Amino acid sequence: MFYREAGQFKTSYKADQALFPILQDKVGMAVILAVAFVLIPLTANDFFLTSIMIPFLVFSLAAIGLNVLTGYCGQLSLGTGAFMGVGAYAAYKLTTIFPDVNVVFLVLASGIFSALVGAIFGLPSLRIKGLYLAVTTLAAQFFLEWCFIRIPWLYNYNASGAIEVPTREMFGVIVSGAEATPIARYFVVLSVVVFIAFLVANVLRGRIGRSWMMIRDMDIAAELMGIRPLQTKLMAFAVSSYICGVAGAMMVFFWLNAAEPSSYSINLSFQILFMVILGGLGSLGGAFMGAAFIWILPVFLKFIPGTIGLEVGAETVQHLTFMIVGALIIFFLIVEPHGFARLWQIAKQKLRVWPFPY
Amino acid sequence: MKHFKNFALGSAVALGVALGGVVPQAAQAEDANYVPLLTYRTGPYAGSGIHIANGMADYLAMLNERDGGIGGVKLTIEECETGYDAQKGVECYEATKGKNALVYNPYSTGITLQLIPKASVDKIPVLSMGYGLSAAAVGGTFPWVFNVPDTYWDGASVVIKYIGEQEGGLENLKGKKIGYIFLDAGYGREPIPLLEQLASKYGFELLQYPVPGKEMQNQSSQWLNVRRDRPDYMVMWGWGAMNPTAIKEAVKIRYPMDKFIGVWWSAGEDDAAAGGAQAKGYKALNFSGVGMDFQALQDIKKYVVDAGKSPTDPESMGGTLYNRGVLNSVIIAEGIRAAQEKTGKKVLTGEDMRMGLESLNLDEARLAELGLGGFAHPMKVTCEDHAGSHPVFIQEWDGEKFVKVTDWIEPMKDVVRPLLEEAAKDYAEKNAPWPARTEACPN
Amino acid sequence: MLYDIFIDPFVQMYQMPDFFLQVLWEGFVAGILYALIALGFVLIFKASGVFNFAQGIMVVFAGLTLVGLYENGVPAFVALALTIVVMGILAYGIERVVMRPLVNQPDIILLMATIGLTYFLIGFGEFIFGGEPKRMIAEELWLPTGSTAIEMGERGLIILQHIDIAAAVIAIIMVTALGIFFNKTRIGRALRAVADDHQAALSVGISLNQIWAIVWFAAGLVALATGIMWGARSDVSFALEIVAFKALPVLILGGFTSIPGAIIGGLIIGFGEKIGELYWGGLVGGGIESWLAYIIALIFLLFRPQGLFGEKIIERV
């Protein structure tokens, strides 16, 4: 009824394989982009932008990155946090070496370094599979974390061992550093995320994306059909790490302003993995939904008791947050192991047939 | 995937609008001064963090109960849990800064580093009492950051000075080995430049034993290395669960405890008690009084703790870290008082508070008046020097409690200050364009 | 450079034999403790195919319950008994609420569920017991404290901690007991049947739910033993949860399903880590312990992708 694709005929393969083959999707997408680019900047306050929207977008991007690897290529990774860190440190080094180059360009370029690192740590995936591979990606996590601490060149020999983001301008507007306004940072992050998300969506429906999914569904069968597992898997590792690296660089440049090695710890890897699983493996929209859930829910829980006048100690709130998040994760896994993306599909189906049950 | 973002953004926006609408109420109650406290009572560092948080909150609450606030204006105290996590710390900062926050106490070197550049933009001072960026002591470069009474570099110089005294003069340090075991994070790395400088000056060898944050409770390798290298003295920069583990391991390898000296953050009673009877002789720096023999602490007990208005365990009162938290709040309160005097206003802003902190002068008479005579060394902040390099003393664990064993020891100002200036310059260059100081000096 | 890598460490080992033996002893103790944690993982993985990330927090939770009860005036051994009961209830609860509804889900979902469980137990544990580190009641449980020094003539001395010796003894007893339990008892055989094939086990009348509750309970007991030992070495606090990561390389080295593998893997990692850190770590700035174990495991894996003792993976199209 509300979501009816009947009557929308395709006359060419091209139209049939378009990114948004259905009118409703096009309209929906346009509305979302309008909200993101116009409505939110007009109405939101600083707290909403800096503590909710910017981290949400950064995490969404990281979740897309991990989704490429885990959701589309079937390789479980627990090293996401470290790959994000590689992007952050690379971007920091690049901007100190080339202070005059546009910072957004450098952020995008920094992903290349993390792609290289990711591909190297992806090498064992040819021989090692499943949970064993997940544990070996922890080697990447701990080794890279160690590098961030022990190679002082990476943080320009700062006594504190942290990287601090210098002020950088773009088109006359300050976009990074403490003086950048939340609006400016928000626009940069949003543009990058939208750009990469569209790019990934296109890659996924093409030859490369399909070969990833073949490897995921059955690697031996894929190999028999002429997919080279080494190249395909390494490509997935590289693309995934590239996206994660860009997300990590944005995390420090447009959100936190400074980062210690502990910002890119194993906990971050878990957080991103949660977003991917809860959002739905193999779904880009799911990555956004998962990020929204995992990031916004704790913020929400943290600040709600105070605003409705409940006197609860700060630490009690923290404990309850942990318990609620943990319980909800288990709850959602039980109720819908395919994640929010699946829930959304069910919702679409309901909208399609409403008011009839079938 | 086809409908990507629809639901996500939709729900995010719905949630966000609800949230954005209610969270930062920009206008706090008109007649109160708002002091956010970034604390951590959870996570791996909670063991140290809880006492600090209690001390800070209790003293301010006591002022509210006993005096009705400061200058007749109540204090609104709000704790925000950071878990020693830099991301959550920034989130707390963003959520509370809109409520006319007067000052931030991050209690984490990592969070401090993130707030330093924001402080001058948002016009809210950062008070990192005895931690954070050492270079921030240079008021000309960092007008918004205060690390009174001492930087880590002051602390490190006192340790070396004390070791020199034990050896009968700094010149006898030549050829000695001094081990430095530290939490491998911004916090523990901060003193290294100064220690290296002193090592080359006095000819001792500095051996470093980093302890990664996630290996805090598994230090046997570091201490095996100590056993092999046999340093003449051990210096520790530890925090949270690292402290008790280190002291236990030191006992285990039979390291002579009287040659083991911790910084003021490794001075908790729980930390030393973990080592049992053999931990006797362990030493730590300190700059705040130990025990309950102070009128102000008795008042806290009477008005706040015994009245059931605080989660504090009465037995933990008077401990090193609890009293440290109290001293932190004394500095906040005196900063507010000074700012009220300077500006004539009762309800302050962050800018007023900056002036107040910069003209802080906590002399002996004032301390006695506060009911804290002898609690801390008199301290004074100037526009040039936001730390002041105040003297600290050394306390020793006697098996049950810490006992003060030295008089106040002056840091080596002549070594520390030039290094601080150099580091501040370096920081400003690395973070160019770093804003030049425009704030007038209130003194 | 080559001298530092290939010759100097061995010269040092020869010149300071007391120190080398001490390093070996520390590696042995660390290995035993890693093996204990890994054992908890193996038990659960064998019977249900769940990779139980929550083992680390179960260690903390068991230790906290024990100490928390003692601090509230319960005598030490009563507290120990009550903690065992609590771990039993926890095992039953996990089986009932988390595992049963998730039967037949892919590995990654089960893995995520145990991480969710970790979050829940962190919040729950801190909510009840508070975040301060607590002192383990080793003496009250009649565990030996103090240390013995063995003189080696003029070549120095080796210091052995009594608690470490106790840890080794207890670990060996636990492994033996579990071995007997698995091989000789009715429930143990049922467990192995479940591990081999869920459906076949069901069809011969073995109750999956009961078996899983027992396995989680056994893992809870292992967690309690680990918590006491690690707690006595440092303190019982939430930072201890991280030791679970130490067990993962042990697991991939030994194989997910092998109890002897967990022990031998633990020892290899324990020795390798300590010797590597103390004789080679200094060359690259130290602290290599945090990843060395993973690299050792990774190298082994490249030659045997199923671990040293894991079951051979046969793939069919």
Do A256 and B11 lie within an 8 Å CB cutoff? no
CA separation, residue B368 to residues A144, B338, B375, B376 (Å):
53, 17, 9, 10
Q: Quick one: pLDDT at residue B307?
A: 85
Question: CB distance A318–B110 less than 8 Å?
Answer: no
* Å between B311 CA and nearest CA of chain C: 11
Mean pLDDT of B19-48: 69
Name the band, by pLDDT with cuts 50, 70 and 90, for residue A57.
very high
Q: What is the pLDDT of residue B25?
A: 42
The closest alpha carbon to B100, from B312, B269, B347, belongs to: B347
pLDDT at C311: 67
- pLDDT per residue as tens digits for the range B110-128: 888 888 888 888 889 999 9
Asked if the model's pLDDT at residue A1 lies above 80, the reply is no
Is some CB atom of chain C closer than 8 A to the CB atom of A14? no
Our separate counts of H helices and E strands in chain A read: 17, 4
Residue-level pLDDT at C86: 93
Q: Is residue B18 a part of any domain in this protein?
A: no
| pLDDT for C15 | 77
Tell me: pLDDT of B19 over 50.
no
Given a cut of 60, is residue A262 above it in pLDDT?
yes
Q: B42 vs A319: CB contact, 8 Å cut-off? A: yes
The overall average pLDDT reported for chain B is 84
Interchain contact, C287 vs A149, CB within 8 Å: yes
For the stretch C130-140, pLDDT in tens is 777 777 887 77
B218 touches chain C (CB under 8 A): yes
Which pLDDT tens digit goes with each residue over C109-127?
888 888 889 989 988 988 8
Task: Note whether residue C25 is domain-resident.
Answer: no
Percentage with pLDDT > 90 across chain A: 27
* DSSP assignment string, B223-275: HHHHHHH--SEEEEE--TTHHHHHHHHHHHTT--GGGEEE-GGG--HHHHHTT
B338 & B268 share domain: no
Which positions in chain C touch B218 (Cβ < 8 Å)?
A: 30, 234, 243, 246, 289
Lowest mean pLDDT, pick from B226-230, B345-349, B433-437: B433-437
Examine the domain organization and report whether B83 and B141 are in the same domain. Answer: yes
Domain that holds residue B265: 152-288+393-413
Q: Verify that B179 and B156 share a domain, yes or no.
A: yes
* Domains of chain C: total: 1
- Whether residue C104 has pLDDT greater than 90: no
The answer to whether A69 touches A137, Cβ cutoff 8 Å, is no
B256 with B347, same domain: the answer is: no
Q: Name all domains of chain A by residue range, CATH numbers in brackets.
A: 22-353 (1.10.3470)
Tell me whether residue C253 is in a domain: yes
Residue in the structure block whose two tokens are 């023999």:
B293
Q: Which domain holds residue C169?
A: 2-6+34-303
Q: What is the pTM of this model?
A: 0.88
Residues B63 and B189 in one domain: no
Residue of C nearest to B41 (CA): C131
Question: What's the length of chain A?
Answer: 358
Residue C207: half-sphere exposure toward Cβ, Cα within 13 Å? 6
Residue A25 has pLDDT above 90, yes or no: no
Q: How far apart are CA B215 and CA B218, in angstroms?
A: 5
pLDDT in tens, A200-237: 999 998 899 999 999 988 888 888 998 898 889 999 99
- CATH number of domain containing B236: 3.40.50.2300
Q: What is the pLDDT of residue B59?
A: 92
A156-175 pLDDT, tens digit each: 877 777 888 888 888 878 88
Does the N-terminal peptide bond of residue B231 adopt cis geometry, omega within 30 degrees of 0? Answer: no
Residue C270: inside a domain, yes or no?
A: yes
Mean per-residue pLDDT of chain A = 86
In angstroms, rounded to a whole number, what is the distance separating the alpha carbons of residues B56 and C214? 47
One domain for residues B253 and B190: yes
B127 with B38, same domain: the answer is yes
pLDDT interval class at A196 (50, 70, 90)? very high
* Residues B297, B308: Cα–Cα separation, whole Å: 15
- Tell me if B357 is assigned to some domain: yes
| Residues B79 and B226 placed together within one structural domain of the fold | no
State whether B184 and B283 are in the same domain: yes
pLDDT more than 90, % of chain C: 7
* Residue C260 to residue C265: CA distance in whole angstroms: 8
Tell me: pLDDT of C176 over 90. Answer: no
B216 with B333, same domain? no
Mean pLDDT for the stretch of residues B365-388: 87
* pLDDT tens profile B73-108: 888 888 888 888 888 888 888 888 888 889 999 888
The confidence score (pLDDT) of residue B11 equals 44
Residue of A127, A131, A224, A262 best to disrupt the C interface, most CBs of C under 10 A: A131
> B2 lies in a domain?
no
Q: Which residue has the higher pLDDT, A147 or C155?
A: A147
User: Can you give the pLDDT at residue A306?
Assistant: 65
**Tally of structural domains, chain B:** 2
- Looking at the structure, do residues B141 and B185 belong to the same domain, yes or no? no
- The answer to whether position C100 is within a domain reads yes
Confidence of residue B9 (pLDDT cuts 50, 70, 90): very low
Confidence of residue C197 (pLDDT cuts 50, 70, 90): confident
Neighbours of chain C (3+ CB pairs under 8 A): A, B
Taking residues B327-346, what's their average pLDDT? 89
- The predicted-structure confidence for C50-74, as pLDDT tens digits, reads as follows 888 888 889 989 999 999 888 888 8
Place of tokens 């209130």: B442
Query: Does residue B18 carry a pLDDT above 50?
Result: no
Give the integer Cα–Cα distance in Å for B19 and A323. 21
Give C88 or C5, the one with higher predicted confidence.
C88
Residue A219's SS3 state is: helix
Rounded to whole angstroms, how far apart are CA atoms C153 and B166?
Answer: 32
pLDDT at residue number A277: 87
Q: Picking from A99-103, A235-239, B282-286, which range would have the lowest pLDDT averaged per residue?
A: A99-103
Neighbours of A, requiring at least 3 CB pairs below 8 Å, are B, C
The strand pair at B205-211 and B177-183 is best described as parallel
Q: Which tokens sit at B410?
A: 């002056």
C59: closest CA of chain A, how far (Å): 18
A125 touches A137 (CB < 8 A): no
My answer on whether B259 and B130 are in the same domain is no
Residue A134 has pLDDT above 70, yes or no: yes
d(CA B266, CA B285): 8
CB B299 within 8 A of CB B62: yes
Q: Is residue B1 part of a domain?
A: no
* B279, part of any domain: yes
Query: Is residue A185's pLDDT more than 80?
Result: yes
C-interface mutation test, from A333, A336, A338, A342, most C Cβ less than 10 A away: A333
Average pLDDT over residues A65-74: 91
**Higher pLDDT among residues A266 and C49, named by residue:** A266
**Six-digit token pair at A143?**
């080794």
The band of C155, judged by pLDDT with boundaries at 50, 70 and 90, is low
**Average pLDDT of span A90-104:** 89
> Quick one: pLDDT at residue A194?
94
Best of C233, C236, C277, C291 to disrupt the B interface (most B CBs within 10 Å) is C233
pLDDT tens track for C5-31: 777 778 777 777 778 888 888 889 888
Radius of gyration of chain A (CA): 21
Query: Per-residue pLDDT for C282 more than 60?
Result: yes
Residue C19 domain-assigned (yes or no) = no
Percentage, residues of chain B above pLDDT 90 = 19
Question: Can you tell me the distance from the alpha carbon of B412 to that of B153, in angstroms, rounded to the nearest whole number?
Answer: 9
pLDDT in tens, B35-46: 999 988 887 788
Backbone angles phi, psi at A131, to 5 degrees: -65, -30
Band of pLDDT at residue B5, cut at 50, 70 and 90 = very low
Q: Does residue C61 sit within a domain?
A: yes
d(CA B414, CA A95) in angstroms, rounded, equals 36
